[in-house]
Amino acid sequence: MKLQRKNRLRALSLGALAVSGALALTACGSDDTSSGDGGKETNANANIKCDDAKGQLAASGSSAQKNAIDAWRKVYTTNCKDVQLNYNPTGSGAGITAFVQGQTAFAGSDSALKPEEVEKSKSVCKGSQAINLPMVGGPIAIGYNVPGVDNLILDAKTLGDIFNNKIKTWDDKAIEKLNPDAKLPSTKIQAFHRSDESGTTDNFTKYLKGAAPSAWPYEPGKSWEPKGGQSANGSAGVAGQVKQTAGAISYFELSYAGEGVKTVDLKTEAKEPVKATVDNASKAIAEAKVVGKGKDLALKLNYKPTAEGAYPITLVTYEVVCEKGNKPDTLAATKSFLTYIASEDGQNVLKENDYAPIPAEIISKVRTTVAGLS
């Protein structure tokens, strides 16, 4: 794969202006992020406008989008060398808190702002308030570690009972019924949830509540409500526990599954169980509706999509930023970076990293809104 990337980069360079060796190496290291326009020779970085962007750009929040931010940052900072972007994946709740306290230029959140959070934002967004900009989509995968089981099918009710500590071993009859051909062991189930406030938890519990209310009596939220189970911090934390713990199961973004972590196929109303893939998540996200008012682009996701093959456990990560009243010393860098990640080139990077691009009709509104930030 690395050889292919280098070959493509050399081919592009034949028809392009010469660039420095350091820049070429950096671009190679950040993967090929061309716009996917059928082989047209374009510089993937040519559309990034740095304008007057410079200095420190601090942001924090959603760990779901960390891998996307990392990929974007490699390309962006190669071009805009005067900007130092620091993103801390503290979780959606902590990210919002830091933003409304004026500690960061923008926040990443896997859930749209609550009314009380919008109200708090008015103290940092002088003469205005924070808005939600949907920027990253993707499936929430259910990762599992059951020795001897390479394919596992679960439905919403069974997942609810597992994470509500009612199903305790992997050879439970409810799991056997869904997997008649699997050799399920009597291994104890080790269900891991997020210890931090998390938009991933919010979206996962919204799915459970919407698809299997009888098995999930709790209200959805960023904080984990049921008693029992085990916890770990961040998406990387729960994914790591699944990888190293026999009998473990947890929920995290597909980009965290990586090598060695198997994911559950979901039984829905469709004829066949649905796999956690970017394309299947996109089918579900396409049914989302904009419910925010004015420049706010908060979405309402459909956790019971009707499209065949649509993967129902999805999330959208928002970049939360002031519509007006942004700090003068970070405004240029904020607009420059958000403009890039909302662009066609920026959105194309997502699919390469197991995320789903935001549907065209929504991301076009995001671009217009970002252009008007002040």
Q: Residues 193-199: what's their mean pLDDT?
A: 92
Which of 190, 187, 200, 171 is CA-nearest to residue 229? 190
pLDDT in tens, 109-168: 999 999 999 999 999 999 999 999 999 999 999 999 999 999 999 999 999 999 999 999
Angle at 313 between CA 272 and CA 232, to 5 degrees: 125
User: In which band, very low, low, confident or very high, does the pLDDT at 260 lie, cut at 50, 70 and 90?
Assistant: confident
pTM of the full structure: 0.76
Please classify residue 367 by burial: count the beta carbons closer than 10 Å to its beta carbon, then call 0-12 exposed, 13-18 middle and 19+ buried.
middle
pLDDT in tens, 311-363: 999 999 999 999 999 999 999 999 999 999 999 999 999 988 989 999 899 99
CA 131/CA 320 separation, integer angstroms: 6
CA 212/CA 268 separation, integer angstroms: 11
pLDDT at residue 349 in the model: 95
Q: Which residues contact 178 (CB under 8 A, 6 or more apart)?
A: 153, 154, 155, 158, 267
pLDDT at residue 65 in the model: 95
Residue 24 has pLDDT above 60, yes or no: no
Residue 25 has pLDDT above 50, yes or no: no
pLDDT above 90 covers a percentage of the chain that reads: 77
pLDDT in tens, 205-216: 999 999 999 999
User: In which band, very low, low, confident or very high, does the pLDDT at 35 lie, cut at 50, 70 and 90?
Assistant: very low
- Continuous H helices in the chain: 2-14, 21-29, 66-79, 92-100, 115-121, 156-163, 173-178, 199-211, 234-244, 278-285, 328-342, 344-352, 360-371
